[in-house]
Structure 1
Amino acid sequence: MSSPSSSGSAERPPAAPPQEDAQPPPEFDTSLFPAPPAFYHRYTDADLANLDPPNVDWITQDGSYTVFGETWPVEETTPTLKEMGVPEMFDPDSDRKLSLQSLLRTLILTYTQLLDALLTPPPSLAHPEPTLPTDPERLTEHMRLICINMHYLVNELRPVQARETLKAMMQSQIDLRRRKTAAIKRKCAGITAQLAALQTRTLEAANAQPPLKSHPRLDPSPAEAAATAAQETLDIFAKLRARAAAADAGV
């Protein structure tokens, strides 16, 4: 039996002891809370005191200003299609509603043509025509222009929509007031009927009671006082009904 030394396998050399002067691993230049940029030192109180305010005349002369990469005009105006570089696909003198319906029909027709163009086989690779746009590209561009024109017409109808919305709100308020007035009238009629019945019963009770001859009363009897109060209440409700009728006529 052969010994391990004679088997031909090399023994693993012992591990080297750690060196005392070994360098630590390099640190990364990252942090969970990074320091602010170096130019923040420029924003001192003295520098801010000497800083000139922004010149508003420059913005007025340019006619626009830039915020977050977007350019906004000083005076809010709606650009026309010509200013946006989009051709007008409707008659400017025609009714906007009719123009929208016409553009919608054109959009649907163009969409069906686009579906037909997508079903056709592509052109041969042996004879490409890169200069001419294909039918899907042409129809897609045509649909884009139609949508821009429709969006422009819808924006022109915004004042009409706001006016009609205001009319609907005012009409709903008038209907609500009329319903409340009718409910008040019904309630007043019910209370008036109850008071009239109470007055009738009070008068009947007063007439049925025999008068006192020996000791006449200067003050009215409870039945007479109740009848007087009922009559005053009826007068008040009559005035309320008159006011409600006048308010309903004014609405």
Structure 2
Amino acid sequence: MAETAQVSSLPLPPMQYVNLFSEENVKRGRIPRPPPPITDGYSMFGNPYHTDDPVIRPLESQNIRRLYPNNYDHRRELKKLNHSITASFLDLVDICIRNPESEARAAKIDDLTLLFIHMHHLVNEFRPHQARETLRVMLEQQKRQRLEIAERFRRHFDKACEIVQQAVNSIPEPSESNLKLLIDLERIQPSDGASTNQTSDDVCMEEDRVLCQVVDNM
């Protein structure tokens, strides 16, 4: 246990951390413990994040100037950004042809960077909707598969019932001569229970007779 705690406390690169989960370490119980849950903040790709941050961080929280109003249509704004990016790129190409060393080139690159950030932000705002739509499609697929399984089971059940009914219908009806023969045999031959009782009664009566003779001789 001490070795496990020591291994889990070391900051390891990702691939070296994965290599610790070998089959031998799993069998011996030497795998590192899972990291504790994050309660305050963390860093991802060099950017700081907090656990209470929204899923899609607003542009103002990232110190980015907003180019579209707060109430907007995503489709319309994406089209406008696409047109602006195309126009800015053509302007940048023209600047690079005419005067590559001018300061306008750096300013146009900054404009393109800002436009791409806004487009990426608008696309990210669709991620929750995409996740819900993906989940809905998965649930519909599972429902369709289960309905198909239930339908196949119903068809097999109906086929089995049909086979059983055909087997019952193929059994021949007993004739009158066979019924009379069965009745005569039941009258002639007693049942096993009756013969057993009669035999036991005869044995008991013989024992009583012997005992009576012994008593008489005394």
User: Which residue matches 2:211?
Assistant: none
Deviation at 1:195, TM superposition (A): 1.6
Residue 165 of structure 1 pairs with residue 134 of structure 2: yes
Distance in 1 (alpha carbons) for counterparts of 2:94 and 2:85: 14
Q: Distance in 2 between matches of 1:177 and 1:210?
A: 55
Structure 2 equivalent of residue 99 of structure 1:
77
Q: Return closer, same or farther for 1:210/1:190 CA change in 2, 3 Å cut-off.
A: farther
Choose the corresponding residue for 2:115, options 146, 151, 161.
146
More helix by share: 2
Using the alignment, how far apart are the partners of 1:154 and 1:94 within structure 2?
A: 14
TM-score by length of 1: 0.48
Figure out how many residues of one structure are paired with residues of the other and give that number: 146
- Residue from 82, 87, 90 that aligns with 2:60: 82
- CA positional deviation for 1:181: 1.1
TM-score using structure 2 length: 0.54
2:78 corresponds to 1:111: no
Q: How far did 1:146 drift?
A: 1.1
Check 1:188–1:206 CA distance in 2 against 1; reply closer, same or farther (3 A cut). same
Compared CA separation, residues 209 and 86, structure 1 to 2 (3 A): farther
Change (3 A) 1:200 1:137: same
Larger displacement relative to structure 2 (207-216 or 100-109): 207-216
Deviation of 1:163 (Å) = 1.3
Instruction: Name the CA shift for 1:146/1:65 in 2 (closer, same or farther; >3 Å).
Output: same
Q: Deviation at 1:91?
A: 3.1
Conserved 8 A contact 1:114-1:139: yes
Displacement after TM superposition at 1:213 (Å): 0.4
Q: Which has the higher contact order (CA 8 A, sep 6+)?
A: 1
> Does residue 182 of structure 2 align to residue 215 of structure 1?
yes
Of the candidates 190, 197, 204, which is equivalent to residue 166 of structure 2?
197
Q: What's the Cα RMSD here?
A: 3.3
What is the identity, as a one-letter code, of the residue corresponding to 1:86? Answer: I
Q: Which runs of 5+ in 1 are unaligned?
A: 1-59, 124-128, 219-251
Q: In structure 2, what is the equivalent of residue 187 of structure 1?
A: 156
1:122 Cα offset (Å): 4.1
Kindly, what percent of the aligned residue pairs are identical? 23
Structure 1 residues 106 and 208: alpha-carbon distance in aligned structure 2, compared to 1, 3 A threshold: farther
- AA in 1 matched with 2:62: M
CA shift digits 1:74-117 (9 cap, x unpaired): 63345422232322122321222332233223223322333333
**Structure 2 unaligned blocks of 5 or more:** 1-38, 187-218
CA deviation profile, 1:20-75 (whole Å, cap 9, x unmatched): xxxxxxxxxxxxxxxxxxxxxxxxxxxxxxxxxxxxxxxx9xx8678998644363
Distance in 2 (CA, whole Å) between partners of 1:68 and 1:142 is 23
- Aligned partner of 1:206 among 166, 173, 183: 173
C-alpha separation in 1, matches of 2:166 and 2:137:
44
Alpha-carbon distance in structure 2 between the residues aligned to 1:164 and 1:109: 34
Q: CA deviation at 1:201?
A: 0.8
Q: Which residue of 2 aligns with 1:176?
A: 145
Counterpart of 2:109, as a letter, is: T
Aligned mates of 1:103, 1:71 — CA distance in 2: 27
Aligned to 2:216: none
Change (3 A) 1:80 1:67: closer
Query: Counterparts of 2:135 and 2:127 in 1: how far apart (Å)?
Result: 12
